[in-house]
Amino acid sequence: MQEARNILAAYGNHPSFVMFSLGNELHWDVSLMRKWTDELRSADSRHLYCFGSNNNLGWEGP
């Protein structure tokens, strides 16, 4: 989490910094990753936050 905060501090004001993803195709504890993205969002709400991409490609939604 400290590395994520450091990234926000270093690059958060850059005009091309619009989205922060914790990683790609992560298969960790979803509640933990949600907690981390919520913490980042509360620290800096200007960006989009997610904890992975492509995890559920092809899966039907709820």
The answer to whether residue 33 is domain-embedded is yes
On whether the pTM is more than 0.75, the answer is no
3-state DSSP call for residue 15? coil
Domain count, the chain: 1
pLDDT of res. 9: 92
Q: How far apart are CA 48 and CA 24, in angstroms?
A: 15
CA torsion sign for 34, 35, 37, 38 is positive
Q: Is the pLDDT of residue 52 over 90?
A: no
Which residue range is the domain that position 33 belongs to? 2-50
Reported as a pLDDT band with limits 50, 70 and 90, residue 54 is low
The answer to whether residue 8 is domain-embedded is yes
Q: How far apart are CA 39 and CA 21, in angstroms?
A: 13
Note the pLDDT tens digit of each residue in 27-37.
777 788 889 88
The answer to whether residue 55 is domain-embedded is no
Q: Rounded to the nearest 5°, which phi and psi values hold at 34?
A: -65, -40
The answer to whether residue 58 is domain-embedded is no
Note the pLDDT tens digit of each residue in 7-24.
999 998 999 999 888 877
Q: Rounded to the nearest 5°, which phi and psi values hold at 50?
A: -150, 165
